[in-house]
């Protein structure tokens, strides 16, 4: 049984605080990037400094998806038999993935009413509704992996298939972004597969980062079990460096694998470059943790506020969208309406810090309620779900 071979990890004897810190850092990067992109003036966003900022933040979304893959592997290996059979646990976890997909689309609804959307939504609004965001990407990817895991029911075959699908997604991305191919699909399906209509995180190539996170986490857990995590992390660091060098080198060659593709959106080379940076970030954090743990200063290593941001990343993600961009319930009361494209770096940074502090305290409160008042939280979730579905189906406004 796989679950019995990872006692060291499950009992907490292995060092994995770097994973919590990794997720928290990615959340901070996400908040900073979104705030500055929305609030800075067009003049500042046209500068070389902002261009460097955008290149740096090119790993934020992949890092978010990579972390989701890590969480999937940990949860699966801890409950291997439950994850590989059709039981209550399988359907419960699959339902959570479906909820993520539902939430992703709900965040883009033009009106909180299907009837009003059907009668009044413009083509632009329909296109906005179909946009494929990070929640749909995570939800569909997790659902597909859970179904596939039940089908194969063998660890080595699952990992081998995961690597095969990863390469398939990376190198077929230019094909799925082909305009002629996309035009033959329903807009909702086209938006799920590519970003030609504006989807920020379509399955191609972004599902690849989640698969990569799952594979790396799985192999890391195996290394922890065999007490070879030092060797694994060293190899991960070297592979990350290799991916970056290989990506830039291949893209500079006079011949291309694809005659027509965008480096920033569909290039397999850019995918490997970003994945390489994530490997390096993860490795560096592990080495830092290893150093600090040897000096028994663990309290300095895992500041609780940063851990909470990582653990409650879904809550933080949704909350910051409502504050920054608004939703159908607060279309006029959000930062986009008050200060979009109007601020300098100083004011934008102040707002970023203020939002982060607010979300830290909100995350602590959210975590406290989930742990100490589960019945109350279950009631809140049920009410929210009922309200959303009832409003979408029966509201006329």
- Per-residue pLDDT tens over the stretch 137-159: 999 999 999 999 999 989 999 99
Closest among 348, 370, 361, 350 to 319, alpha carbons compared: 361
Residue 12 binned pLDDT confidence (cut-offs 50, 70, 90) = very low
Could you tell me the CA-to-CA distances from 137 to 148, 168, 211, 362 in Å, in that order? Answer: 16, 16, 11, 25
The residue ranking higher by pLDDT, 1 or 329, is 329
Reduced to 3 states, what is the DSSP secondary structure of residue 343?
strand
Mean pLDDT of 388-394: 92
Q: What is the DSSP letter of 112?
A: S
Q: Please state, rounded to an integer, the average pLDDT across all residues of the chain.
A: 90
Reply yes or no on whether the pLDDT at 189 is more than 60: yes
Separation of alpha carbons 31 and 269, rounded Å: 27
Q: What is the DSSP letter of 44?
A: H
pLDDT at 10: 41
Closest among 331, 306, 329, 302 to 316, alpha carbons compared: 306
Q: What is the largest CA-CA distance in the chain?
A: 65
Separation of alpha carbons 3 and 11, rounded Å: 12
Reply yes or no on whether the pLDDT at 6 is more than 60: no
For 157-161, the CB contacts below 8 A with 24+ separation are 159/215, 159/218, 159/219
CB 23 within 8 A of CB 313: yes
Mean pLDDT of 347-364: 97
Mean pLDDT of 56-84: 89
Q: Percent of the chain scored above 70 by pLDDT?
A: 93
Tokens of 146: 């859970």
The residue ranking higher by pLDDT, 169 or 299, is 169
- Per-residue pLDDT tens over the stretch 252-309: 888 776 767 788 899 999 999 999 999 999 999 898 888 777 766 555 556 889 889 9
Mean pLDDT of 171-196: 94
pLDDT at 301: 57
pLDDT at 45: 95
pTM of the model: 0.92
Mean pLDDT of 378-390: 93
Closest among 395, 313, 364, 367 to 60, alpha carbons compared: 313
Mean pLDDT of 219-236: 92
- Per-residue pLDDT tens over the stretch 89-136: 889 999 999 999 999 999 999 999 999 999 999 999 999 999 999 999
Reply yes or no on whether the pLDDT at 51 is more than 50: yes
Separation of alpha carbons 200 and 137, rounded Å: 10
Give residue 41's Cα distance to chain centre.
27
Mean pLDDT of 74-87: 86
Closest among 47, 53, 149, 159 to 94, alpha carbons compared: 149
Reply yes or no on whether the pLDDT at 348 is more than 90: yes
């Amino acid at each position: 049984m796989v679950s019995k071979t990872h006692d060291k990890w499950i009992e907490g004897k292995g060092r994995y605080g770097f994973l919590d810190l990794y997720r928290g850092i990615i959340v901070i990067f996400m908040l900073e990037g979104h705030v500055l992109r929305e609030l800075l003036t067009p003049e500042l966003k046209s500068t070389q400094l902002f261009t460097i900022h955008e290149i740096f933040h090119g790993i934020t979304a992949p890092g978010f998806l990579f972390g989701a893959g890590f969480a999937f592997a940990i949860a699966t290996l801890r409950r291997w038999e439950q994850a590989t059979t059709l039981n209550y646990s399988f359907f419960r976890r699959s339902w959570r993935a479906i909820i993520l997909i539902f939430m992703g689309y709900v965040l883009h609804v033009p009106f909180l009413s299907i009837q009003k959307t059907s009668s009044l939504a413009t083509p632009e609004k329909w296109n906005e509704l179909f946009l494929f965001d990070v929640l749909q990407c995570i939800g569909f990817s997790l659902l597909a992996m859970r179904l596939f895991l039940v089908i194969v029911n063998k660890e080595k075959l699952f990992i081998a298939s995961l690597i095969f699908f990863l390469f398939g997604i990376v190198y077929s991305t230019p094909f799925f972004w082909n305009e002629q191919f996309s035009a033959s699909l329903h807009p909702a399906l086209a938006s799920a597969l590519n970003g030609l209509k504006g989807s920020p995180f379509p399955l191609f190539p972004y599902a690849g980062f989640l698969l990569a996170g799952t594979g790396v986490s799985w192999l890391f857990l195996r290394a922890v079990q065999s007490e070879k995590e030092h060797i694994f992390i060293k190899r991960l660091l070297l592979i990350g460096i290799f991916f970056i060098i290989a990506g830039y080198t291949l893209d500079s060659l006079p011949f291309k694998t694809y005659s027509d593709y965008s480096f920033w959106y569909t290039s397999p080379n850019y995918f490997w470059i970003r994945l390489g940076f994530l490997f390096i970030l993860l490795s560096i954090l592990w080495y830092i943790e290893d150093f600090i743990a040897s000096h028994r200063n663990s309290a300095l290593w895992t500041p609780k506020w940063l851990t909470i941001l990582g653990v409650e990343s879904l809550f933080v993600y949704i909350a910051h969208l409502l504050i920054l961009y608004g939703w159908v319930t607060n279309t006029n009361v959000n930062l986009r309406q008050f200060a979009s494209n109007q601020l300098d770096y100083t004011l934008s940074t102040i707002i970023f810090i203020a939002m982060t502090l607010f979300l830290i305290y909100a995350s602590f409160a959210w975590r406290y309620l989930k742990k100490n008042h589960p019945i109350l939280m279950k009631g809140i979730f049920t009410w929210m779900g009922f309200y959303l579905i009832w409003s979408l189906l029966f509201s006329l406004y």
